């Protein structure tokens, strides 16, 4: 009889409370192309509406920095050029929501693809209240990213075009999915930041 080894991923998935507080939370996914202003608008929402803001990428980086066994596993995957399994990202999101003690969350830049979405629904077993989509034309996104260039390696025109292509191929199907469920809230993100937030405020005030 073969012995089945439990991996750190299995342990992470199994490590869940009977009735996690976040199961009754309000979750809003925040999506938009690179340079669409997601971070700025999330900061505004945290300040005005007392949401807690999580970025999936930030949580992965924080886990690596923590020196935990999961952090080491994530680091080795990234070094090897492998994609971190959606289960790990989702479990980190659930853990962060549980530890925050809050009940209103903005999850920024997630789900990035269809697999992310399916795993979130299967593991977290909650659906977003709605999806906030910052819609902005590619040429405007390019202009913004190039003008904010502060020495970041990924702020060059070739990399920007690649990032936008990935966004269109992976994330736009997610946006279409939530639109079909009546859960999409689209914002014209090409306008000045203050005007964009005025439109966002209307959604959250209601």
CA distance 172 to 111: 11
C-alpha torsion sign, points 31, 34, 40, 43:
positive
Domain-wise residue ranges, the chain = 25-205
151 assigned to a ligand binding site: no
Which CATH architecture describes the domain 25-205? 3-Layer(aba) Sandwich (3.40)
180 assigned to a ligand binding site: no
107 assigned to a ligand binding site: no
125 assigned to a ligand binding site: no
**Tens place of pLDDT per residue across the chain (206 aa):** 444 334 444 544 455 445 666 677 899 999 998 888 898 999 999 999 999 999 988 898 899 999 888 888 888 887 877 778 888 889 899 989 988 989 999 999 899 889 999 999 998 888 999 999 999 888 888 888 877 665 455 556 777 777 778 777 888 899 999 999 999 999 999 999 999 999 999 999 87
Q: What is the pLDDT of residue 1?
A: 43
185 assigned to a ligand binding site: no
191 assigned to a ligand binding site: yes
CA distance 177 to 165: 19
The tokens for 65 are 């920095």
């Amino acid at each position: 009889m073969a012995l089945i080894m439990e991996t750190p991923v299995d342990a992470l998935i199994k490590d869940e409370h009977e009735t996690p507080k976040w199961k009754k939370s309000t979750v809003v996914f925040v999506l938009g192309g690179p340079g669409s202003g997601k971070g700025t608008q999330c900061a505004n929402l945290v300040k005005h509406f007392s949401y807690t803001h999580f970025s999936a990428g930030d949580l992965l980086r924080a886990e690596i920095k923590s020196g935990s066994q999961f952090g080491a596993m994530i680091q080795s995957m990234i070094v090897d050029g492998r994609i971190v399994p959606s289960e790990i990202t989702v479990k980190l999101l659930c853990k962060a929501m549980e530890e925050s003690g809050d009940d209103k969350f903005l999850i920024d830049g997630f789900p990035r693809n269809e697999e992310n979405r399916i795993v979130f629904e299967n593991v977290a077993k909650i659906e977003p209240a709605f999806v906030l989509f910052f819609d902005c034309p590619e040429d405007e996104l390019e202009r913004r990213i190039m003008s904010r260039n502060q020495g970041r390696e990924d702020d060059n025109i070739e990399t920007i075009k690649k990032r936008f292509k990935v966004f269109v191929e992976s994330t736009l199907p997610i946006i279409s999915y939530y639109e079909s469920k009546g859960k999409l809230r689209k914002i014209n993100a090409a306008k000045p930041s203050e005007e964009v937030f005025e439109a966002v405020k209307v959604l959250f005030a209601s």
